[in-house]
Every structure is written in C-alpha cells, then in structure tokens.
Chains A and B, each alone.
Chain A
Amino acid sequence: MRPGYSKVAVVEDDPPVLTDICKAIERAEDMELVDSATNFVSGKQLVENGGFDVLVCDLGLPDGDGTNLIKMASERQNKIDIMVLTMFADHQKVLNAIRAGARGYLLKDQPLENCVDAIREIRAGGSPISPIIARLVLKQLQPQSRPEDRLAEALSNRELETLNLLSRGFSYSESAEIMNISAHTVATYVKHIYRKLEVNSRAEAVFEASSRGILGG
C-alpha cells in the first residue's frame, strides 16, 4: 500500500449526498472507495467486513444511530480514522461522535474538493475543532464540572494551551505561531485531545456496565 493512500468507506442514508461524496473520493488519486452503506444494518456489515482506513459515517440513519456504528468500528480497529458526516457540525453531535471514536467531521454541504481535503488532513494526523467545541471541552476540564465529565487521562499543558487558543478563535496556523510550533502539531494535539475524550467515554461505559452488573466484575 502506498503511503498516504487511503481506503474509504462511507455510510450515508441520503442518496444524492452519498453520491456526491463517493464521486469526490473516486476522483481523488490518493484514495479509493472500498464500500458504502445507506442504513445501519448494512453499515454494521460494512464495519464487520473491514478493509478500510477511513470511515465516513452519518449519524441519523433511518434504522439506527450512526454513533453506535462509529463505536463499533473504533473498537474493532483503532488504527482507522473515523469522520462523522454532519449537516452543521453542531457541538453536541460532534462531541458525541468524538466520544464514540470519531476524529473529525465532514460537512454535508461543503464543496466536494473540501471533503477530500478534510480526509487527507485527518490521514496526516490532524483533526479539526470549532471554537465552540474547544470551549465546551475546556469547560468540562474545570474543577467544578460534574465528576463523570472529568477526563480520566489529563490533558498535557500544551494540549490545554492549544485548546485555549482555538477556543478563542485563533486558527491552527495562528495558534502554532503563538506556541512556536508547526500547524501540523496543533492538529495532532487536537487529535490527542479527541482520543482522551474517547478513552474517558469508554471508561465511563465500563464503569456504568460494571455498576449495572453486566460485566460481573
């Protein structure tokens, strides 16, 4: 497999949107569409079959919650990059997806070339974050937040600094300049932050499960 080459799978229930994205991926030289699904059931099959590096997944599927697909995919293969396909990138949906294992998002209305760029970016190790999401994550880290929202693995000082700058509206390159690092490192920090959020949500799930007696621990 060529380095930088991506195998992409897409789950999206709206045919015109699915077609748009698939076309964009097929057109790109450095990526390949390996599979696509239009509902939860076939999406589940897609995840079980595997064979992709990138999963682009819609959340509102007619027969189920895309978040669960993301969780399944993330648990099966933690090397893959998962992107949530969202209409508005609104904070609650994106945060939920991140906790399930997503590392980025694609906006459904954005021009096709942007879509491919976003996949390339995430393959290169970076994740996007909006100022509102950055702010919400920061708020979770405050000592007065609910105990269950606190991170199991604390953010490093650099990660916190990054989050701070991004929440205050600085772009990746501006933040990188302020912190005297590369824009790519900033993007990597964001990805680390996402991973820590996911780990936290896993720990919560385990805690919840064990407290309900499912795991019999």
Chain B
Amino acid sequence: MLVRFFGLLLLSAFLMALQPVEAQDDNSNNQFDVQTSNAGKIIRFVDADFSFSEISDIPDSSWIRRELPALWLSDEARKVQGGDLSVWARVRFDGTAFEKDSISIFTENNRERVSVSINGVDIFRNYADDRHSMLGWNHPYLIPVSNSLLKPGTNEIVIRAESGRNHSLGIGTIAVGSHNALASHFESQYFFRIDAPKTLNWTMLLLSVFVFIMWLGRRQEMELFWLSLTGISWFVRNYHFFAETIPIEPLLFQQITYYSIYFAVAVTLAFCAEFLKLRYRKIIIIIMLGIGVFLCLSRFFLINTNHTDIASNLMTVGLFGSFLLILAHHAWKGQSPESWLLLILLSLAALTGVHDIGRIPNVNWWTGAGFHFQPYIGFLLFLVFLLSLAGRFLSALSLVEETNVHLEKSVKEATDALAASQQAQRKMEVERALETERERLMREMHDGIGSSLVTALAVARQRKDPPSTITTLQRAIGDLKITVDSLAPIEGDVVTLLANLRHRMERELSQAGITSIWQVEECPPLDWMDAGHSLHLLRLLQEALSNVLQHADASSITLSCKSSMRQNKSGVLIGIVDDGIGFNPSDRSGSKGLGFMHQRAEILNGALTIENLVSGGTAVKLWLAQASVLQD
C-alpha cells in the first residue's frame, strides 16, 4: 500500500480513461515487446499464464492468460485459497532469439516471496528459509541463466509468488535478454529503489536520534522534538521500501507501515508550524495530531467494513491541503524566505505523492520514474528542516556572540566610567586637600612673615634706611609673591605662569627702561605640573629676568612661549631673550645663579640652554616635555 494522499480526485478521471487490455489466448509463446540497444536485446513480456494452484510443483494445467504486470492478485487469491496466498506465472519464449548471448532474467514488483525456474529447473529464490517473511515487492532481481538450460525451441520461465493471507499478492515485470543490457537497468533500479533509500533513511534515523537527544537537553526547543519525530516516523514509514525481510510480526509490521503515514504527515506539519512560529501553533499542532489519530481510526473502521480506505486518503489530502493554505497565508503575510521554502518543499512533496499514487498497484496509472519517490521525500523534508534549524541555531550563536561582544563593551565602558569617576573623585579630594593646605599657607604668609616683611619695608622706607635694606626686603616679599603664584590652580598652563610673572615684574622692567615684548602662542597644558613644579619654573624664569634687570643693560626683552617638538617629543618652549650685552660664562658670581637654573630645569625634566647671541644679548630657552615627568 502506497501513498495516495494527494491529487486522487483530479486523477481519478484519468484513471477512467484507461482500459484494461485483453490478453491474447495463445498456447505457445507469450506476447512481448522487444527492446534492442548496443548492449543487447531484451524481451519484455506483455502477458503471462497464471495459476492459483496451491500445490508445490509447477501445475500442468488450468493456466489462464492475462496481461503483465498483475500487481493486484490478492483479492482473487483469497477467494480460491484457504491459507497463505500464492500464484504461479509462466512465460514462454523462443530460445533462438538470443543466439549465443549470455542471458539473464529480470523481474521486479513481485509480492512477496519469489522463486524462479527455467524449463523446470529452479534457478532463484529471494528467501533462504521459511522462517522469515519476505519483502520482495520493491526489489528488482537479476537472475543469470546458464546457456546449458536453454533449449533451441520454446523455453519456459515460471515465477512463483507467495504472500501472507493479509498481504498483497502480485506478479510484476518479467523480462529476459542479454545479461549486459539487463544488468545496467537492474543496477540503476537497485540503486534508486534500495541502496539510496536505505542509506538515506538510516542516516535520517541516526540524525533523528541525535536531534532527539539534543531535545532532551533543551526541552523548550519544541522544533527539535517535532524534527526528531518527523525523522523517526518517516523512517518507520519508509522501512518497507528497502528492507528485504520483515523484522517483526508481519501483520503488525503491515499495520504500522500503513498507519505511520498519517502520523508522519501530522508531525511533519507540526514541525512546520512550530518552526515558523505560526500564530495559534499549539492549537494547529493539536488539530494536526487529532486528525492523524482520527485518520487512523477511520482507516481501521473502513478496512473492517468496506475494505477500502479511500475516505481516509481523501482526508489526508484535506489535512495536507489545509496546512498548505495556512502556510501560503503565512508566507504571503510574513514574506519570510523560510515560509516560502517550506511551502515549495511541501508542494513538491505533494507532487511526488501524486506520482507515487499513480504507481499504486490497484491504481496503476503509470510506472513514472520506475520507482517510488516517497522514501526520498521523507528524507528531503527532514534534511531541509534540519538545515533550516541548523541555520537558525548558527545565527542564534552568532547573535549570542555579538551580544557577548556588545555586553563586554558595555561592561568595559561602565568600568571605565566608574574608574574615571573614581579618579575624578580622588582628584577632587586631592584638590580639596591642596586647597585647604594652600589656604593655611597663605594665611601663614599673610598674617605672619608677609605681614612682618611689609611692616618692616614701610618702616625702613619711613626711616630712609639704606637702599640695600629696602631691596632685600622687597626681594623677600617678591619671593613670597612667587610662592603665592605657584600655588594658584592653573592646571599646568605655562603661559599663565609666565604671564603672571610678567605682570608682577612689568613695573620693575619699565622702571629699568626695558620694554617687554610678549610673543605667546597656544600651548598644550602640562598636566604633570603641580605647585612644586610651578615654583621651580617661576624661580628659574625669575632668575633669568633678574639677570636681565641687573646685568644685561638691555632695552627690550622678548618673552615667548610656544609648543615645540624636541627629540620627537612634543612639549613647550619658553624663551627669554634680551638685546643686552650678553653674559660672561666665566663670571664666577653669575655662575651660581645659572647653576640653580640648571638644577631647576633638571628637576622639571626640561632642557635649558643659555647662550650669547651673535647679534648681542642673551637667549635663555627652556623646553618642557608635555608627557609626565614620571613617565620619562
């Protein structure tokens, strides 16, 4: 019994047009078609003589001529035979037709146990013993015939087919001819009917078990469950295509094979519903399975009453068709490639179903491709489902990976932000502490030493004390001012420091008749510069300016500040250039001050150059790195 789940209605009209051909009653040779190719000649018998005799030897009489193939003899046999069913088929041909060729007999579609004899000599049987029930219906057989068995005149091939009482009985194709020509036909038939379906279906079973185990690990993935059931049920359904013997009690096997088709179709559709996440898919799946059970019951009752299950098949068509409509609706609405793919695939399955229906013995519209597509379509469905699911899992994995990357990034950003905020907080705390300390120092300088110095200066002026006293006091106050400036929060802005120094000394410079020329550009802040560094820098610059004031006899001084590269490091270049008389490097009194300047430059990790210019005057240049002193 084969699939008849689609197109039965449409094709029944076609069936009506086909008329059985009357067999010619001829006691000698049977009718045959001759097919000649490069490989040799083949005779395909169009009719044969049949006998339902139950005796174990070839019957002598009561042969009835009828056309071949006669696939549906079980009903007739049941009427005339008491126990298991059997039939004899005999064909006669002229042995001279093949001359010296080595010849073989080819036969297929015989149900189920087959034995073959030529000219009364047994040459083949498809079973080893009586203990095993055979499945011969889908097997092609190629039986070499020894030339010694052939007679010059009429030769006789007799095939006996035997079957259980509840099974099908039938005689399929009988051909005789050149071994080479028949062998190539046999090989392709054997491959497409047995080898390929067997390999694919066992593979499918293995994959199904694998998928089922996966589902056990992830019960919430119902697609896995339905996919494994799809694979297993199609394997059960397809087993009879390629198996040679029936593994269990024959009747039970037959019933399982019959009824499994409804279940296979139902779970296939259930998978589709689950996979496409159809709306109301739970209800759809329950209805599918319900219909499957209903079809089984319906068939069971129909078989026991009418001996036909055409109504069940029609309902299967209904089930399949209505699901295709749901799928088409979903594909049309969602425009998802997956839906279209499944729709096309299921439609293809329906078409191949129609093809196979045409090959059912008691339908027999065509021989089609010469073999059934069904053992392939189950596998094809399963494979496409599996690949779709695998594709989905892979993209899910990629998504998880992306999500992980994204999460890691977010975590890093959050961590960085936290670290930055903590750092900012620490910085604020340090600043606050510095500010407190600065205020304390300032108070100290104002109320204590500063106040005393200013008072002393005022008193000295009033008493007209010697200028050296006044100068000393002024210098002491000047030093305090520098210290105060170094404490200002200027965030490493060298320009501001230099500017404030100029601001402080402007009056002194102009009183000495020195014009200050201000040439500053935008400079990057030196983040490493703290109050201590500022003080060193201010003292260094103050020393340079004092030198100009005291010794240079200059009329102008150029103060400059610009960003500058030195040894591939970015930094700031401060310049104090006067147009005076220059300095004497060997002057011992001046060298002490210069030594201090160099020491301070070293502490600042800077590069200090003091040189006399050719044009006259002195150039003091200090380069400070932008990068941290500590990092160097």
Flag B428-457 by CB within 8 Å of A: 1 or 0 each: 000000000001001001110011011101
Assess the B481–A132 pair: CB atoms within 8 A.
no
Number of interface residues of B (CB under 8 A): 38
Flag A78-105 by CB within 8 Å of B: 1 or 0 each: 0000000001111111000000000000
Assess the B454–A17 pair: CB atoms within 8 A.
yes
Q: Which residues of A contact B529 (CB under 8 A)?
A: none
Q: Which residues of A contact B493 (CB under 8 A)?
A: 135
Q: Which residue of A lies closest to B478 (CB)?
A: A109
Query: In whole Å, how far is A140's beta carbon from the nearest beta carbon of chain B?
Result: 12
Residue B462 interfacial (CB < 8 Å): yes
Count of inter-chain pairs, beta carbons less than 8 A: 89
Assess the A169–B454 pair: CB atoms within 8 A.
no
Q: Which residue of B lies closest to A110 (CB)?
A: B507
Q: Which residues of A contact B398 (CB under 8 A)?
A: none
Assess the A170–B450 pair: CB atoms within 8 A.
no
Residue B496 interfacial (CB < 8 Å): yes
A88 and B445 contact, Cβ closer than 8 Å, known pairs A109-B477, A170-B518, A174-B518 = yes
Residue A167 interfacial (CB < 8 Å): yes
Residue B458 interfacial (CB < 8 Å): yes
Q: Which residues of A contact B518 (CB under 8 A)?
A: 169-171, 174
Residue B333 interfacial (CB < 8 Å): no
Residue A26 interfacial (CB < 8 Å): no
Tell me the complex Cα distance, A16–B506, Å: 26
Residue A20 interfacial (CB < 8 Å): yes
Which of A89, A136, A169 has the most chain B CB within a 10 Å cutoff?
A169
Tell me the complex Cα distance, A60–B454, Å: 14
Q: Which residue of A lies closest to B489 (CB)?
A: A136
Assess the A169–B477 pair: CB atoms within 8 A.
no
Tell me the complex Cα distance, A73–B409, Å: 60
**Chain A interface size range:** 20 to 34
Q: Which residues of A contact B455 (CB under 8 A)?
A: 14, 16-17
Tell me the complex Cα distance, A135–B500, Å: 10
Query: In whole Å, how far is B502's beta carbon from the nearest beta carbon of chain A?
Result: 6
Q: Which residue of A lies closest to B477 (CB)?
A: A109
Residue A120 interfacial (CB < 8 Å): no
Q: In chain B between 45 and 59, which residues have their CB closer than 8 angstroms to a CB of chain A?
A: none
Residue A50 interfacial (CB < 8 Å): no
Assess the A16–B462 pair: CB atoms within 8 A.
yes
A169 and B488 contact, Cβ closer than 8 Å, known pairs A19-B462, A88-B480 = no
Residue A77 interfacial (CB < 8 Å): no
Tell me the complex Cα distance, A9–B451, Å: 21
Tell me the complex Cα distance, A56–B507, Å: 21
Residue A158 interfacial (CB < 8 Å): no
Residue A108 interfacial (CB < 8 Å): yes
Residue A27 interfacial (CB < 8 Å): no
> What are 29 A-to-B residue pairs whose CB atoms are below 8 Å?
A14-B454, A14-B458, A16-B459, A17-B455, A87-B446, A87-B480, A88-B446, A88-B481, A88-B484, A89-B481, A90-B484, A90-B485, A93-B442, A108-B454, A109-B453, A109-B454, A109-B457, A130-B500, A131-B496, A131-B503, A132-B485, A135-B493, A168-B496, A169-B496, A169-B498, A169-B499, A169-B520, A169-B559, A171-B506
